[in-house]
Chains A and B, each alone.
Chain A
C-alpha cells in the first residue's frame, strides 16, 4: 500500500441553509478542498451521504456531484453507512489512493436535512435503526440513546450533570469554530433543564438537524510533499467494524463494541499506542455517546467517562481533548458530512491552524465516526508529517 496524505480540506458554514441545495453545498465544499490544496486535479470522487432519497428525493449523487464539480467525466461513487457515511467516504478514497488505482481522490460528505419537516427528518434518521423491530414500536434515535443513558446511569452512577457537561464543553469549543451551527456557550443548568425529548435525553443532549457539506482531497504522500502548501498530514491508520443493527440484540447497552474494535484495528495499522493520541474528534450524536465512546476508546475506565468530563480531562488543555471542533453537538450533524468534517478538523489541528480552539502540540489525531446506535464505526488516525 502507498502512504496516503490529506492535502486539502473544505468546509462550509453549517446550519439551516435554506438558500443552498444539496448539490450546491457539496460542490462548494469540494472546490474549497481543491483551493485549500492548491491544485485543480481530481482523478476520482467519492460522495458520502446517508439519505438524500428521503431528505430531498435525489439519488445518483455520484453523478450529480461530479457533474456539479465540472472536472470532466471522472469516476465517482456514493457510499452509505448511515451517520458514518462520511467516514466511509474517506476510507474509500484512502483505499483508492493506497491501492495505486487513483492519485488525487476527493471525498465529499453531504446531507441536506431541513428541506423536510421534523417528522420526515425523524423518519429518515430512523431508517438507520431496525425498522421492523425498533421503529415499528415507536423507538426514535433519542430513545435508543436514552436507553443507553439510562443503563449507564443505573450501572455506573453517571449523572445528569455529567451528561450536561459534555454539551457545555462542546458548545464552548464551537464558540471558536467559524463553521459551527451553534457556536453559543451553554450552561449546565440550561442543558439540565432543557425540554425532554426521550427521558433522560433532553433537547440540549442532542446534536441538531443540519444542512452541511465537507470535503477532503487525498493523494499519495509523495505527491502531497510536492504541493508544499501545507504541512502534509498522513492517514496512518484506518479501522472499521460493524455490530448488530438493533440495540436490543447487544449483550449490554453501556458499551459500543464497534467503537473499541474499529479503534484497535486503526491503532494496529498505525503501529501506535493510545498514549500517542493528542486529541480525538468523536461521534457525540448525543451527550451519552461521547461518554461511552471515550470509555470504549480506552481513554477512561468503563463507567468513569462522565466524571472525566466534569473534571475537564477532555477539555482543551485537558489530558485528552475531545471534540475541539465543538463536535456533532455544537458544530452540527449533517449526517453524511460529519465523518468528513472530522477529518477536516483533525487535519487543521495537525497543521496548527485552529486558532483559539487549537490543541497545543497536536501530533496525532483520532477521528471516530459512528452509524446508527453503534451498528458501524470507522476510525481514522492522522499524523503530522514533516
Chain B
C-alpha cells in the first residue's frame, strides 16, 4: 500500500473522525464530499465514540496478503452508537462467543505490515465491550 494512501486516511483510522453534515446533522463515516441524505457539501469533524453492536461477521480462514499470520481472524460489520456502520476485525474474543448483537468497542491496533519495507498500518479493531 502506498504511503500517501494511508496518510490520507489517518484522521479516520487513528481517531475515528466522521463528518457531520452542517445542513441536516447526518453523521458519515467515512466522510463524504456530498451528503447522501440532503445534498449538503459542508461538514464538521465529529469523533465517533467507538461503541457499537455486531450486525454480522465472518471468520476468515484464507487470508489476503499481509494477513497470513492472523488466520483464523474475525471480520465484522458493526453498527455504531452514532448510527453509522463500519467494517473491522473483532479480536480478543473466543470465536465460540461471537454473536450478532454482541456489544463491542474499538481499540487502536496494528492492522497490517507492508511487506519487506516494514511499513506498519494502524487503525481500529473491535473488542468485546466490558460487561
On A, residues with C-beta under 8 Å from B are 119-120, 122-123, 126, 130, 132-140, 142-144, 146-151, 154, 195-201, 246-249, 253
A150 to B61, CA, bound (A): 15
Convert B15-59 into 0s and 1s, putting 1 for each residue whose CB lies closer than 8 angstroms to a CB of A: 000000000000000100000000000000000000000011111
Q: Are A198's CB and B61's CB within 8 A?
A: yes
Report chain B residues within 8 Å CB of A126: 64
Q: Which of B1, B57, B61, B72 has the largest count of A CB atoms less than 10 A from its CB?
A: B61
Q: Are B73's CB and A138's CB within 8 A?
A: yes
Convert B97-119 into 0s and 1s, putting 1 for each residue whose CB lies closer than 8 angstroms to a CB of A: 00010000000000110000000
On B, residues with C-beta under 8 Å from A are 1, 5, 9, 13, 30, 55-67, 70, 72-73, 75-77, 85-89, 100, 111-112, 121, 123
Q: Which B residue's beta carbon lies closest to that of A246?
A: B87
Q: Are B61's CB and A139's CB within 8 A?
A: no
Q: Which B residue's beta carbon lies closest to that of A152?
A: B56
Report chain A residues within 8 Å CB of B9: 132, 136
Given contacts A123-B65, A196-B61, A198-B62, contact A136 B75 (CB under 8 A): no
A198 to B59, CA, bound (A): 5
Report chain A residues within 8 Å CB of B100: 150-151, 154
Q: Which B residue's beta carbon lies closest to that of A148?
A: B56
A122 to B89, CA, bound (A): 18
A246 to B84, CA, bound (A): 13
Those 6 A-B pairs whose CB atoms lie nearest each other, nearest first: A146-B58, A199-B59, A151-B56, A138-B67, A147-B56, A143-B58
Secondary structure call for the A interface = helix
Min distance, Cβ A71 to any Cβ of chain B, angstroms: 40
Report chain A residues within 8 Å CB of B61: 195-199
Report chain A residues within 8 Å CB of B60: 138-140, 142-143, 146, 198-199
A199 to B56, CA, bound (A): 12
Report chain A residues within 8 Å CB of B88: 137
Q: Are B64's CB and A135's CB within 8 A?
A: yes
A279 to B5, CA, bound (A): 45
Show 18 A/B contacts (Cβ-Cβ < 8 Å), sorted by A.
A136-B111, A137-B89, A138-B67, A139-B64, A140-B60, A142-B60, A147-B58, A147-B77, A150-B56, A150-B58, A150-B100, A197-B62, A198-B58, A198-B61, A199-B58, A199-B61, A199-B72, A246-B87
Q: Are B63's CB and A138's CB within 8 A?
A: yes
Report chain B residues within 8 Å CB of A198: 58-62
Report chain B residues within 8 Å CB of A138: 60, 63-64, 66-67, 70, 73, 75, 89, 111-112
Q: Are A147's CB and B64's CB within 8 A?
A: no
Q: Which A residue's beta carbon lies closest to that of B29?
A: A133
Q: Are A247's CB and B77's CB within 8 A?
A: yes
Report chain B residues within 8 Å CB of A197: 61-62
